Structure 1
Amino acid sequence: MKTKNYFVLLMMLFVGGLTFSACNDDDDYVRMPTAYVNFVNAYAGADALGIKLDNNSVDRGYSLKYGDIIPYDYGRAYPGSRLFSAGIPNTTKAIVDSTINLRDSVLYTSFVYGYQDTVSSILVEDKDATNFDASKVYIRFFNLSENTPAVKVNLIQNGTSTNVFNDRPVDNQTSATANGGFIAANEGSYTIQVTDMNGTQLALRNEAVKLNAGRYYTVFTRGIHGNSQKPLIVDIFQH
């Protein structure tokens, strides 16, 4: 993704099988095949998760808190078929145990979400928008909440509501792949509202977020509709 190149150059290295560089005997840089991954914890069934690739911790041994993202600006990973797992700290059983395929030079975001026994994970590519316009903002949306109907997503600015995503049930890998592209929107400061298909508000991100031209953003829901302990929340992060 064009807007992330400088982040990739500055990011901190992962431990274990996640980071590497190589030089020849003359100290000339030799590029190694590399994939880049963000990890997002949207799982409402615990306060934190441990995330691993091939049994190597991607969070340096620290648990990834509910709602958090690591490493914010993409971490490096070996391409190929990788064992991906997530577990609740101080337990021995993984709640996600799967295989993901990573390609060289491709950027990804990985989400773990659900509640208790309804655990899911998705992996999506973070691709540049077709016909990129530097004057526009680019956004996408995933519905990762629990016990939630199909939803609409509105951007609200100065009392004016603009519908940007419509009829979006809870995502699975198939729908997330289909909806993984970014769409253009106008730059500005917005509150983000999620409603059901009848227009009844389910969640509102009251704090206005500034969407800057030329940037990419992922909006997603997490939490449990109707649950006061882990309520439905609208989250957003910049790529």
Structure 2
Amino acid sequence: MNSQRAARWAAFVLIAALAVLAALAIKGGATALITSGAVLVPAPDTENSAAAHQTGSSETAVLAGGCFWGVQGVFQHVEGVSRAVSGYAGGDEKSARYNLVTSGNTGHAEAVRIEFDPRRISYGRILQIYFSVAHNPTELNRQGPDWGPQYRSTIFAQSAEQASQAQAYIAQLQRTKVFDQPIATTIEQGKPFYAAEAYHQDYLVRHPNQPYIIQHDQPKIENLKRLFPEQYRAAPVLVGNAS
């Protein structure tokens, strides 16, 4: 964990502890604090019609929603996903390095490239998992203790069709008001993806006892298992040194 993230983690622990104490005081010992952050959202209205046209053996989605460790970890446990790589999207190749992206000035977001078999899982289901358990889509440039545009909630559409489907789905979720706040997720199309450094790959799997992972990312895996049992796979698909 770098110094910036360590400082943010320490601040978050302090704030969380104060919030718990306040909740206990207000509720007389019965806390109403929700820590999982999971909201099971409805599937896209277009899910059935889209599934009928899935003929290829491989598609790619690129999603950003806070620190890429947790987003990658979630989709590594999803059936039908063959590879999930942590990386950067939104900026140029020269600035696609962690020490630069953390400045928040590169245009990049920490993102995950997800390769999946559309015959086993649809793009719509990928988005449903993304909105339900991978992150909080009502926060644009912040997730947990991490803040800045490099942690933004963004769908990097890989085609006009993906962009259209994502726009329709966001509009659907806004209408149904499944979240207390408006969805802040943006859609960016035509932005290349660059794989992150090797030490960021499979991070959740390799560091299960790190406090940041325990607090922010392991609950996402548990929520995936609980809310999407048919899509959950116990053994994650690992990438090793991604390229």
In the superposition, the TM-score normalised over structure 2's length comes to 0.22
Point out the structure with the larger helix share. 2
Structure number with greater CO (CA < 8 Å, separation at least 6) is 2
Whose Rg is larger?
1
Instruction: Report the structure, 1 or 2, having the larger strand content.
Output: 1
TM-score, structure 1 length as denominator?
Answer: 0.22
